[in-house]
Structures are given as structure tokens and as C-alpha cells.
Amino acid sequence: MVFHVMLVPTLGCPSNCGYCWSSEEGSELMSIDTLKQTVNWLKTLREDSVTVTFHGGEPLLAGLEFFQTALPLIKTELDHLKPALAIQTNLWNMTDDLAELFSTYNIPIGSSIDGPEELNDYQRGEGYYQKTMQGYKIAKAHNLKVSFICTFTSHSIKHKEEILNYFLENDLTLKLHPSLPSMRDDNPDEWALSPEDYGELLVYLLEEYLDKMDEVEIMNIDNLAKSVFRRRGTVCTFVDCMGDTFAIGPDGSIYPCYRFVGMPDYVMGNVHDDPSLDDLAESKPWQLLMEFKDFVDTDCKRCNYVKFCRGGCPYNALAITDAKVEAVDPHCTAYKRIFKEITDKATKEMLSGSLMGNSKPSKTTKYSIMDLMLKESR
């Protein structure tokens, strides 16, 4: 797990997605002073390389000037940490100037589309699709790499074939996201995907992916297969994230992750006070997430997948227990289902002696699970 800092310049967002829990009307914008203090704080916090992701709300609301200051500042002042940059945006406010700037710094973009226009706009609001596609065109014109989070909900799960076809036909990279309950808002509850449906979806996508791996990239399936192969998680959901991930809110407050930003109970400190890692470790949120880690060590100890699942996401777990450490991630059922499917396939291949992969010899043959485990991203 690499050291990951999420910079949230604002919780404001111009869109109004049905299941969203992370935006806040009237949210302030991060000042240049707070930005500089954040970079200053990071200079000596840790010594290993860092990934900085701009997140929201909608980070492009911070404007061109903010990014013209932030990007060179991070690259030069944190040069010793070899910073990698990324941004998660709905692309509505993308301009040629911003795209050119992001291209200079080679910043990969994560955006969000839930499938074909009608389905997307049903979930994310009228007009969302066209605005995102307009920004996507600008990003592509500047050779930016764009992948899309596709949120599957209790509604869109009924259209999973249509959604996968959409991503295939449009040659778009897909990272799926199950709609989840939130600690901040009741809105997402009616959209939430059940753990059983999520498990079905993952198995469906795995089967399709083994057939079409050369035509589409599904980032979650790649990560799940690699986690099983390496016997350790390769994304935050499947490692002990506390201490390796932080989020900085618009006022400089430090949180365990972007999902907690804006919740006063989860503030661990503020960059303006220049806290050390030891200071942060004394905060209540840090201790709560450490309590979750201990809980997983006990509760999941008989699970075959604990090494590369680690109880899932602590935020998801806390969201259903009223912030008490009493359960693991409610998607446990889904994780068990997909990890079993992947390990069963790997064992079968091993026993049949085809462990080195078959590189899809014909149209009627699927890729092997080993091909998937060893696959490099596009």
C-alpha cells in the first residue's frame, strides 16, 4: 500500500447525483495558504513516495489558478517523495487550459459515468452525461488518460449487460463502485446495492472479463485477481489503510480518508498545527480505525481470505453500526463470493497443469485466471 494523500479543495459540486453523500452546498474552497501549509506538512511527515489525488466534492471548482499553484508546488517541494498525481472529477468544468496543465504533469483522470445516457442521467441527474462527455472530449484532445467509475445501484444492477456493453462499445476503462449507505446522509440508502447482488455482479464481470480482457479494462477485477495472486490487497479496501491514507479538507483538517471529510468527529488534526504521525496516532479517529484492525484480526481469523481482504473498508463497516466497531465491511458476502471464485479457478488450473496461462488461443476459449493475475494495465 503506497502512502496516499487525498486533497479535497472543496466539498461543493455542481451535479446532484441521487446517491451522493460526499458533496456539501456552500462548502468553502481551500485557500492557497492552506494548500502551501499542506505541502509543508507533508515534506517531513514520511519518507516514502506519495500519491496525491485531488478529490471532492468537485475539485475542478477550485479553478485554474489553484492548480497552477498546486501542481508545481507539490512536484518541486515534495520532489524527494517522488509524488504521483491524480484527480477524480466529473469533468464538467474541464477547460483546454486545465487539460493542458494536467497533461504537462501527466495526471491520470478518474471520472464517473454509470452507463448509457438515459440510465446514467436517471441516477446522476438530467444533463449529467452530456456535460461529462464534453469534458471527456477536451481531456482526450490533450491526450489525458481517463477511466470511469461506474456506480452500480439497486436500479442499475438490472441492466448490468447493457452497462458492460456500453463500456465495451465505447472503449472506456471501467472501475465499478457499489452504491453504499453513508454516515453523512440517508440519500444513498434506497440506491444501495445489496452484498448478494454485488457478489453476483463481481462473478458476472469476472466471467465476461475472462472472455473480453483484450477489449475492455475492469480495474476492480484486475485488483481482486492480483490480490489473490500476491496474497495481499492491492487497493485500500483490502489492506489496513489507517496511517497510509489521509485526506485534507478545505480548511486543512486532516481525516483518515476522503470518505470522512466534513465530519467533525473524524478530524485527526490540522495541517496549520503541523502535527506529527505520533500526534495523529493519539487522535480518536486513528484509534477507532486501529480498533477495527484488531476486530478484523479476531473476527476474520478463520476466513481463508483474510490476508488479502482485511475485513474490507472500515468506513463501510462503521456506516452500518452507528460508528461502533462491531462488524466488518457489510460487503463481506460479496468479497467471499469473488475470492472463492478466483481461488477455485486458480486451483483448478493448477491441478490441470495449465497454470502458465493460455493467452486465449481461440475465439471460443477464455483467458485463464493466471492470464488475469499476470495482466499489466493498459
Q: Where along the sequence are the contacts to ligand SF4 (CB under 6 A)?
A: 236-237, 241, 245, 257, 259, 300, 303, 305-306, 309, 311-315, 328-329, 332, 335-336
CB closer to ligand SF4 out of 213 and 224: 224
Rounded CA-CA distance 208/206 in Å is: 6
Q: In what order do the strands lie in the sheet with 146-152?
A: 173-178, 146-152, 109-112, 84-88, 50-54, 3-7, 245-248, 253-255, 269-270
From residue 84, alpha-carbon distances to 49, 136, 293 in Å are 8, 21, 28
Using alpha carbons only, what angle is made at residue 294 by residues 291 and 296, rounded to the nearest 5 degrees? 110
Q: Which residues pair with 4 in a beta bridge?
A: 51, 245
- Least CB distance to ligand SF4 at residue 304 (A): 7
CB closer to ligand SF4 out of 135 and 178: 178
CB closer to ligand SF4 out of 138 and 327: 327
Listed in sequence order, the residues at least 6 apart from 171 whose beta carbon sits closer than 8 Å to its beta carbon are 215, 216
- Least CB distance to ligand SF4 at residue 162 (A): 28
- Least CB distance to ligand SF4 at residue 289 (A): 7
- Least CB distance to ligand SF4 at residue 6 (A): 8
CB closer to ligand SF4 out of 252 and 312: 312
- Least CB distance to ligand SF4 at residue 236 (A): 3
CB closer to ligand SF4 out of 25 and 322: 322
Rounded CA-CA distance 346/96 in Å is: 46
Secondary structure in 3-state letters for 279-334:
HHHCCHHHHHHHHHHHHHHHHCCCCCCHHHCCCCCHHHHHHHCCCCCCCCCCCHHH
- Least CB distance to ligand SF4 at residue 137 (A): 30
Nearest to 251 by CA among 24, 27, 87: 27
Rounded CA-CA distance 187/198 in Å is: 19
CB closer to ligand SF4 out of 71 and 280: 280
Listed in sequence order, the residues at least 6 apart from 240 whose beta carbon sits closer than 8 Å to its beta carbon are 1, 293, 296, 310
Helix axes 195-212, 219-230, angle to 10 degrees: 90
CB closer to ligand SF4 out of 41 and 308: 308
DSSP E strands in 231-288: the ranges are: 245-248, 253-255, 269-270
- Least CB distance to ligand SF4 at residue 255 (A): 9
Number of H helices, E strands in the chain: 13, 9
- Least CB distance to ligand SF4 at residue 364 (A): 34
Backbone angles phi, psi at 246, to 5 degrees: -135, 155
CB closer to ligand SF4 out of 20 and 332: 332
- Least CB distance to ligand SF4 at residue 278 (A): 21
CB closer to ligand SF4 out of 5 and 144: 5
Percentages helix, strand, coil for the chain (3-state, rounded to 5) are: 50, 10, 40
